[in-house]
Structure 1
Amino acid sequence: MNTSKVKIFDTTLRDGTQGEGVSLTVKDKLKIAQKLDEYGIDYIEGGWPGSNPKDEEFFQEIKKISLKNSEIVAFSSTKRHGIKAQDDPNIVKLLYSGVKTVTIFAKSWDFHVTDALGISLDDNLKLIADTVSFLKKHGIEVFFDGEHFFDGFNHNPNYALKTLEVARDSGASIAILCDTNGGQTTKRMREIIKVVKEKLNMPLGIHAHNDSGLAVANSIIAFEEGIEQIQGTVGGLGERCGNADLCTIIPILKFKYDIDLPKINLEKTTHLYNYVMEVANITPDNRKPFVGRSAFTHKGGIHVSAILKNPLTYEHIAPELVGNERRILVSELAGKSNLKSKIEELGFSLSSFSDDQIKKLTLKIKEYEHDGYQFEGADASLKLLLLREFFDYNPDFQIENFNILSYNFGEGTTTDAAVKVRINDEMVHTVASGDGPVNALDKALRKALENHFPILRNMKLIDYKVRVLDSASGTAAKVRVLIETSDTEKSWTTVGVSTNIIQASWKALIDSIEYGLYANLPSKIENIYN
């Protein structure tokens, strides 16, 4: 095992919140901080106490929570020009935040000093020295962020280095080299870090942005050159194109460099990613390395055949190591290997299917997909298809009919849905209003079923996607609807296809409820398999 030491610094709660579409409440930030602590992050940058009341409240509330692995860090710029550090409210609030460590950033690019701040280069150095030394006198450890360091080094290397030297001599314990604009190539990154290490006797860290798609690569290059702290965010959240993604960096350090990360719970990496995306109300990226839903997903028949013999044929690590899972897709590109593996993945025994049935099922799936269905993202609908075709499966309810009515009131529109449902020998007729036809149908159907199946109250529709399959047909185009539903423990996806968007949605909606009832009623499952 490589004994190289590197600390992981998470800035999801600060730099990550600067990303477009990211907004976290104080409660959100507290929940994420606890999850980061459980995962084993060394440092959690909680925010900038002097910038807004929300961050001030966070630092007061986090004091009440006992963290096991992580240290909370506050963030700030240097003091303002023209006043003393003790008179700058932003600096004073760092002291009241209750943290033991702060990150102070300052301009390392002379262009920013003269054109953005409008002060002299010497004045900027004084801001650094006064701020760092003031905090050190109050017993605070200081991490120094050299903002725009690499751009500054390219333009004026002597001055960029001087900002780090002043921070070091004033008491900063580590200098973080920031690729703030995210424009450095890996070659240039390595060259500059080598020079800095030769010139500066001080621990170094890296803070990379992803504007050139190189944030992870540059962070790994910095590690190879001996930096001691890597900064980033969960999922790469952050301003513009985001920050370096810790959910990629950490597994790389562990599995590609054999780095000992004793506090990190690698098997919780996927859970951490999905949790933060859920709290931030962001749809997870299926193609994220290591943690994405597609990261260990196999579709091509040749690939699947090989995977079933030995997963190393098409997987660089076992998905379980990062808490992910292997998925085998069924589509028009798939062969028998895919289908057999998928049948087992869905919980069926292959012994229940004859060779003729496998052939029949393969053809049927390809026919469905020719019509526009897509089962690779809708396992629940695929499972229901198998149950309907080969098992004595009957749903717990039958839809007799439904009706949609919309009313326009100026700029507003109200939609009513009426459904008639047969449950055993009872006919139930309900009406509900909603925001659009799908929402109204969902409410009306649930209203009809919930008294008979209370478990439906734990299920909710969490995602709804529509794709036009043949846009050349205009308003008569066929559409595919995918609906994702969740209960308290899991989620599932169903699909519907039609030239009528309401009909396609209705098919997916009925499947979602049928599957939810099927999966949550043990007696039903036992009857089907027996």
Structure 2
Amino acid sequence: MVYIYDTTLRDGAQTRGVSFSLEDKLRITQALDDLGVHYIEGGWPGSNPKDLAYFETVKGLNLKNSKIVAFSSTKRKGIKIEEDANIAQLVKTKVPAVTVFGKSWDLHVTEALKISLEENLELIYQTIEYLKKYFDEVFFDAEHFFDGYKENPEYAVKTLKAAEEAGADCLILCDTNGGTLWYETEEIFDAVSKKVKAPLGIHAHNDSDMAVVNSLIAVKKGAIQIQGTINGLGERAGNANLCSIIPNLVIKMGYKSIPIENLKKLYSVSRLVSELLNRPHPANLPFVGDNAFAHKAGVHVSAVEKNPRTYEHINPELIGNRRRIMVSELSGRSNIVNKARELGIELDKNSPEVKKILEKIKYLEAQGYHFEGAEASFELLLKETLGMSKKYFELKGFRVFTEKRSEEEEAYAEATVKVEIPEEIAREKGIEDRFEHTAAEGRGPVEALDKALRKALEKFYPSIKEVKLTDYKVRILNEAAGTGASPRVLIESTDGKRKWGTVGVSPNVIEASWIALVDALKYKLMKDDEG
């Protein structure tokens, strides 16, 4: 069994330009749990208030597969471990597992920590021994292990032995600078496995573009835990990319790890992380990039249509991706059928309904829509096309204006909205006037529009009051167009029982926001009807 340890929320968050909100972290946690990741490193609770809030809030999630892990350094020198604030915060998290990193390169011990080599071994031992009293599992990240081993193998191994003797459940060899080549990984794992008895793992960085291969070689040499991030996020050139490691490990190498049937969720998880970071999804990523199984007109397309194995190393549907044949209308049908099945709807891949849905999605994708991170908008599209949802209201017009009266005063916005509900719903609710025309103010145009729309609908649908927007993101799709660029708006909403994402695209950011807002409320009403 090889355990997948995800550190997207901690090490991945150190990527330049990346900042996860608390809601982002919780949503990614749920997606990783659904994928079947064994360990999710939520952050360093002693480093910032957001991570502290995460460890408190994540307790409310009903996780089925993953163990939440807290991260910290070994205790500080010169104080009792009971007085170390970082260690105290670890204990307060009450998560099932913790990871402690300690120096294994003598250069760092003497130059960075400014302590003796023996004192460093004591810090490692004392920290792990103490934490074993409070946690089911304690992992030791041997920071800079490969560089340390190359310069002073005897001392590097001593750090592992100190952690092992203190009771560490797994010793993680870290290529922190990312400079180790595959044959060095092989040699070092061979040597280390003869000197310690505790299970080994690997934490590889990608500065030499070796992180994935080093991780897989470590497994061949006996490692039982691989640490990495979704899409290879991480400092400098990033961490080992779990989106490449997992399918290679399970599909190609045949190791028991994440259940193979769960791998079809990998593409969606990969895209979700990109969407929540409000950045384009890298098209050239192996396995999960949109170009990974894309074929243009010519000899490739001709061969793939006869037998996909001619130009595809695996079936893309195994990891939730799809074949993209630029000249064929047939690509993508399986994705529609599979997604519909997840929603409890059985469709025939060759039915006119699937063709119609696919044509709509292709059209919307050409406008800039993407439905990863906006599952509610996709479900609405699917059910509306199939005639499985009703029309709750119709827009009769909206107007938004922003005013700033002076340099000193804060700008404010006002929106007016007019809606009409269908006659049959009005009869059902005993309402004579089917129209509502309302206005509302906000600090910005989107807030004003949201308030006005809710105000207009609450008369007909009181449960709208339960909906709260928890996140709002705007991405520019064609930056070269300057101020004329089209934005994509991604909104996350909750009613206290569930969370959902919706999307809108338009050359006008207000209209894009309106589309996403309307979908958010329509989804709520649809789910209320479904019970």
1:81 pairs with one of 65, 77, 83: 77
Equivalent runs, 1:356-435 vs 2, <5 Å: 374-375=366-367, 377=369, 397=394, 402=399, 404=401, 406-409=403-406, 410=408, 412-418=410-416, 430-435=438-443
**Greater gyration radius:** 1
Aligned with 2:158: secondary structure? helix
Q: After TM superposition, give the deviation of residue 92 of structure 1 in Å.
A: 6.6
Q: After TM superposition, give the deviation of residue 436 of structure 1 in Å.
A: 4.7
Q: After TM superposition, give the deviation of residue 194 of structure 1 in Å.
A: 3.8
Aligned with 1:104: secondary structure? strand
Q: After TM superposition, give the deviation of residue 205 of structure 1 in Å.
A: 1.2
Q: After TM superposition, give the deviation of residue 442 of structure 1 in Å.
A: 6.1
Kept in 1, the 8 Å contact 2:243–2:288? The answer is: no
Q: Identify the residue that residue 159 of structure 1 maps to in structure 2.
A: 155
Q: After TM superposition, give the deviation of residue 119 of structure 1 in Å.
A: 1.5
Q: Aligned residues: percent identity? A: 42
Aligned with 2:369: secondary structure? coil
Q: Identify the residue that residue 286 of structure 1 maps to in structure 2.
A: 281
Give the Cα separation in 2 of the matches to 1:172 and 1:443: 54
Give the Cα separation in 1 of the matches to 2:492 and 2:60: 32
Q: Identify the residue that residue 464 of structure 1 maps to in structure 2.
A: 474
Aligned with 1:408: secondary structure? coil
Give the Cα separation in 1 of the matches to 2:86 and 2:94: 14
Output one character per residue of 1:448-472: Cα deviation in whole Å (capped at 9) or x when no partner. Answer: 677678898879795433455765x
Aligned with 2:411: secondary structure? strand
Kept in 2, the 8 Å contact 1:211–1:242? The answer is: yes
Answering whether residue 488 of structure 2 is matched by residue 482 of structure 1, we say yes
Q: How many residues align?
A: 485
Give the Cα separation in 1 of the matches to 2:416 and 2:135: 68
Q: Identify the residue that residue 496 of structure 1 maps to in structure 2.
A: 506
Answering whether residue 208 of structure 2 is matched by residue 208 of structure 1, we say no
Q: After TM superposition, give the deviation of residue 306 of structure 1 in Å.
A: 6.5
Kept in 1, the 8 Å contact 2:333–2:349? The answer is: no
Answering whether residue 139 of structure 2 is matched by residue 143 of structure 1, we say yes
Aligned with 1:181: secondary structure? coil
2:175 pairs with one of 172, 179, 193: 179
Q: Identify the residue that residue 222 of structure 1 maps to in structure 2.
A: 218
Kept in 1, the 8 Å contact 2:505–2:515? The answer is: no
* Structure 1 residues 248 and 349, CA gap change in structure 2 (3 angstroms): closer
Output one character per residue of 1:183-221: Cα deviation in whole Å (capped at 9) or x when no partner. Answer: 334344334334434565653210123445543333223
1:6 pairs with one of 2, 9, 14: 2
Answering whether residue 251 of structure 2 is matched by residue 255 of structure 1, we say yes
Contiguous gaps of at least 5 residues in structure 1: 354-361, 389-393, 523-530
Equivalent runs, 1:300-311 vs 2, <5 Å: 300=296
Aligned with 2:441: secondary structure? strand
Output one character per residue of 1:484-517: Cα deviation in whole Å (capped at 9) or x when no partner. Answer: 56787876655434xxx57xx5488569859997
Give the Cα separation in 2 of the matches to 1:182 and 1:455: 53
Give the Cα separation in 1 of the matches to 2:132 and 2:232: 31
Contiguous gaps of at least 5 residues in structure 2: 341-346, 354-358, 372-376, 386-390, 424-433
Q: Identify the residue that residue 391 of structure 1 maps to in structure 2.
A: none
Aligned with 1:182: secondary structure? coil
Kept in 2, the 8 Å contact 1:78–1:105? The answer is: yes
Q: After TM superposition, give the deviation of residue 437 of structure 1 in Å.
A: 4.8
Q: Which amino acid aligns with 1:414?
A: Y
Q: Which amino acid aligns with 1:227?
A: A
* Structure 1 residues 340 and 136, CA gap change in structure 2 (3 angstroms): closer
Give the Cα separation in 1 of the matches to 2:278 and 2:397: 35
Q: After TM superposition, give the deviation of residue 414 of structure 1 in Å.
A: 2.2
Q: Identify the residue that residue 321 of structure 1 maps to in structure 2.
A: 318
Aligned with 2:367: secondary structure? coil
Q: Which amino acid aligns with 1:413?
A: A
Answering whether residue 201 of structure 2 is matched by residue 193 of structure 1, we say no
Q: What TM-score does the superposition give when structure 2 sets the normalisation length? A: 0.66
Q: After TM superposition, give the deviation of residue 21 of structure 1 in Å.
A: 4.2
Larger mean Cα displacement after TM superposition, 452-461 or 39-48: 452-461
* Structure 1 residues 516 and 213, CA gap change in structure 2 (3 angstroms): farther
Q: After TM superposition, give the deviation of residue 177 of structure 1 in Å.
A: 0.9
* Structure 1 residues 83 and 415, CA gap change in structure 2 (3 angstroms): closer
Kept in 1, the 8 Å contact 2:142–2:173? The answer is: yes
Q: After TM superposition, give the deviation of residue 123 of structure 1 in Å.
A: 2.7
* Structure 1 residues 336 and 395, CA gap change in structure 2 (3 angstroms): farther
* Structure 1 residues 21 and 403, CA gap change in structure 2 (3 angstroms): closer
* Structure 1 residues 374 and 130, CA gap change in structure 2 (3 angstroms): closer
Output one character per residue of 1:273-318: Cα deviation in whole Å (capped at 9) or x when no partner. Answer: 379849x953476337578573677574567776666555665444
Q: What TM-score does the superposition give when structure 1 sets the normalisation length? A: 0.66
Equivalent runs, 1:53-92 vs 2, <5 Å: 70=66, 73-83=69-79, 85=81
Q: After TM superposition, give the deviation of residue 152 of structure 1 in Å.
A: 2.0
Q: After TM superposition, give the deviation of residue 18 of structure 1 in Å.
A: 4.9
Q: Which amino acid aligns with 2:413?
A: T
Aligned with 1:286: secondary structure? coil
Give the Cα separation in 1 of the matches to 2:119 and 2:258: 43
| Aligned CA-pair RMSD | 5.8
Larger mean Cα displacement after TM superposition, 247-256 or 87-96: 87-96
Q: Identify the residue that residue 356 of structure 1 maps to in structure 2.
A: none
Give the Cα separation in 2 of the matches to 1:294 and 1:43: 27
Output one character per residue of 1:385-421: Cα deviation in whole Å (capped at 9) or x when no partner. Answer: xx99xxxxx9974756857453333352223345667
Aligned with 2:404: secondary structure? strand
Give the Cα separation in 2 of the matches to 1:515 and 1:133: 50
Q: Which amino acid aligns with 1:465?
A: R
Kept in 2, the 8 Å contact 1:464–1:482? The answer is: yes
Give the Cα separation in 1 of the matches to 2:49 and 2:392: 53
Larger mean Cα displacement after TM superposition, 136-145 or 213-222: 136-145
* Structure 1 residues 452 and 466, CA gap change in structure 2 (3 angstroms): farther
